[in-house]
């Protein structure tokens, strides 16, 4: 495996459609009719205040959360459900896990296995889901860890790494599945300020690789630099979306302007 192969996703970049998605917990409506289309290879950055539904939307996309109304499709395939006449019927957990293996997810708190080395954290999933042999998965892991600047940390354990290094391992782990889309849930929110840059640089590199990225973040400057489109969510609804030059520099909606005035 060469560095050249790492620049090209093994499957085509994913197109994502979120159709009229509603999600609530008791009386609290978290998502209130979300419609969102992400084109193949597009970098979409989702902004909004805390509690606006950003992270829940990501979790609905890979069916970690089940919507009460609406559906999500990736490359035309319904996620977590199948059509049964006029209704949607939940897939088996095994089928859902197979779908999730094609959707990379990078959590804000890393979610690494503490008892596994960095190498094994990255190599485990390709063995389990892509049926690579252990030597093949280890070769892939070495290549990906090198790509995120951690080629010398293969034998380390997560507790021996900084937060920024752990998040870079988590990104390498997501890449190991060769997903057509990677979801990032506030990937720098758990990091000390001096470590944020190293993680954002890795994501910037990914943004040029052709993989579809959907990124929830509060890093406005980063959004302006890498996003093809910025989506602003408030109260479970999409209030504004457009290219960074429009959504960030010349927003149409008062709620967007108010939010940006407090974070810029």
pLDDT at residue 6, rounded to an integer: 40
pLDDT score recorded for residue 77: 95
Q: How many CB atoms lie within 10 A of CB 39?
A: 13
Q: In what order do the strands lie in the sheet with 16-25?
A: 28-38, 16-25, 69-74, 77-78
Rounded Cα–Cα distance for residues 189 and 195 (Å): 10
Residue 148 lies in a domain: yes
The string of pLDDT tens digits covering residues 216-255 is 999 999 999 999 999 999 999 999 999 999 999 999 999 9
Give the contacts of 216 (CB within 8 A, at least 6 positions apart): 45, 46, 54, 55, 57, 58, 184, 185, 186
Phi/psi region, residue 259 (left: phi>0; alpha: psi -120 to 50; beta: rest), is alpha
The angle subtended at Cα 100 by Cα 98 and Cα 103, nearest 5°, is 130
Dihedral sign for Cα 71, 37, 103, 54, please.
negative
Q: Does the pLDDT value for residue 10 go beyond 50?
A: no
pLDDT tens by residue, 107-149 = 999 999 999 999 999 999 999 888 899 999 999 999 999 999 9
Distance separating alpha carbons of residues 182 and 215, to the nearest angstrom: 8
How many domains does the chain fold into? 1
In a domain, 136, yes or no: yes
Structure tokens, 207:
């943004």
Task: Compute the distance between CA of residue 236 and CA of residue 55 in angstroms, rounded to an integer.
Answer: 11
In a domain, 252, yes or no: no
3-state secondary structure of 1: coil
- The CA distance from 106 to 89, in Å, is 27
DSSP β-ladder status, 77-78 and 69-74: antiparallel
Which element (helix H / strand E) includes 45? strand 43-47
Average pLDDT over residues 152-160: 97
Examine residue 78 and state whether it is found in any structural domain, yes or no: no
Reported as a single tens digit per residue, the pLDDT across 12-63 is 789 999 999 999 999 999 999 999 999 999 999 999 999 999 999 999 999 9
Q: Is residue 145 part of a domain?
A: yes
Given a cut of 50, whether residue 8 has pLDDT beyond it is no
Residue 131 has what pLDDT? 85
The neighbouring-strand residues paired with 77 are: 74
Q: What are phi and psi of 172, to 5 degrees?
A: -60, -40
CA torsion, points 236, 242, 244, 246, in degrees to nearest 10?
A: -110
CB 112 within 8 A of CB 164: no
What's the rounded mean pLDDT across residues 151-176? 96
**Residue 120 lies in domain:** 105-178
Query: pTM of the full predicted structure?
Result: 0.92
Residue 170 lies in a domain: yes
Q: Is residue 117 part of a domain?
A: yes
The answer to whether residue 151 is domain-embedded is yes
- What pLDDT does 165 receive? 97
């Amino acid at each position: 495996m060469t560095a050249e192969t790492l620049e090209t996703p093994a499957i085509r970049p994913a197109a994502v459609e979120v159709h009229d998605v509603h999600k609530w917990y008791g009386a609290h409506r978290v998502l209130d009719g979300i419609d969102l289309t992400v084109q193949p290879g597009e970098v979409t950055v989702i902004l909004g205040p805390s509690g606006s539904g950003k992270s829940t939307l990501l979790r609905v996309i890979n069916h970690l959360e089940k919507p009460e109304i609406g559906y999500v499709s990736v490359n035309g395939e319904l996620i977590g459900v199948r059509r049964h006449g006029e209704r949607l019927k939940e897939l088996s957990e095994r089928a859902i896990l197979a779908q999730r293996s094609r959707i990379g997810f990078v959590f804000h708190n890393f979610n690494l296995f503490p008892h596994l080395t960095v190498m094994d954290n990255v190599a485990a999933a390709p063995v389990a889901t892509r049926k690579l042999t252990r030597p093949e998965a280890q070769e892939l892991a070495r290549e990906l860890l090198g790509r995120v600047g951690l080629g010398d940390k293969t034998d380390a354990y997560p507790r021996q790494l900084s937060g920024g290094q752990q998040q870079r391992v988590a990104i390498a782990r997501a890449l190991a599945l060769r997903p057509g889309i990677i979801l990032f849930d506030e990937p720098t929110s758990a990091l000390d300020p001096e470590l944020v840059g190293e993680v954002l640089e890795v994501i910037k590199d990914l943004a040029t690789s052709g993989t579809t990225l959907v990124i929830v973040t509060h890093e406005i400057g980063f959004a302006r630099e890498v996003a093809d489109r910025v989506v602003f969510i408030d109260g479970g609804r999409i209030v504004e979306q457009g290219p960074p030059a429009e959504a960030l520099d010349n927003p149409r909606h008062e709620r967007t302007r108010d939010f940006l005035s407090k974070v810029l």
